[in-house]
Amino acid sequence: MSSESIEDYIKAIFKLSVDGGLVQTSAIADRLDVRPASVSNMMRRLATLGLLHHEPYRGVQLTDEGEKLARRMIRRHRLIERFLVEILEYPWDEVHEEAERLEHAVSPRFVRRLDKLLESPATDPHGAPIPSSDGTMDESTHPSLVELGAGETAWVRRVRDNDGGLLREFGRLGLRPDAMVEVVESASDDGLLVLRVGGEIHRLEYAAARGVFVERTAAG
């Protein structure tokens, strides 16, 4: 059984990787808030375990086994988030940290029961795809809200989930998965977007809007 630290590293590398490319150790250190020397030591250990390839001075890349482990951890995490919101009625801005703690403790049997109880959900409460039991996952990407021009409409598909304060703001504005949003006025990177959500006008900082990922409507 993998240790918690190994699982955290593998999941972080998976999330930092773009199209399976190399991930810099400095990015891993920033993501996990650890010293670069600690990352280097762990990279050597993970390479020995056959979970990643380490190219000195270039970065790391997960092996097939490493990617399978990452997808299992992401599946656990996102199913737990869904359970916390739907069954235990946690606010969506509190489940990320709770799931981070619980994902290391649950057994594969528990995960199977959880999936059955929740009727195999496709996404977590923030719209992120949940890998299936065989590791397949919808990996389609969506533009952020700031990429829409004035007058365009779109469906919210996913929101960034690692900032509780930001999630509370998204919730207050109605920016949840499957909500429709219209950009009334676009903005520069130091301004505000004017949005219409549920018939109401709201203003959202550009930096925050970068954490809302959308799918343009046919009319948009």
The per-residue pLDDT for range 36-58, each reduced to its tens digit, is 999 999 999 999 999 999 888 88
> Would you identify the CATH topology of the domain 4-62?
Arc Repressor Mutant, subunit A (1.10.10)
**Phi then psi for 28, rounded to 5 degrees?**
-65, -45
How is the chain split into domains, by residue range? 4-62, 75-138, 145-216
Residues 6+ apart with CB under 8 A from 44: 54
Q: What is the mean pLDDT of residues 162-180?
A: 95
Architecture of the 145-216 domain: Roll (2.30)
Q: What pLDDT is stored for residue 51 in this prediction?
A: 96
Average pLDDT value for residue range 192-200: 94
Q: Please report which confidence band the pLDDT of residue 19 belongs to, taking 50, 70 and 90 as the band edges.
A: low
Above 90 in pLDDT, residue 3?
Answer: no
Average of per-residue pLDDT across 73-98: 96
Topology agreement, domain 4-62 and domain 75-138: yes
| DSSP string computed for 129-193 | BPP-TTS--------BGGGPPTT-EEEEEEE--S-HHHHHHHHHHT--TT-EEEEEE---TTSEE
Predicted TM-score (pTM) of the model is: 0.89
In CATH, which of 3.50.50.60, 3.10.129.10, 3.40.440.10, 1.10.10.10 is domain 75-138? 1.10.10.10
Q: Using pLDDT thresholds of 50, 70 and 90, give the confidence band for residue 1.
A: very low
Contact 172, 166 (CB under 8 A): no
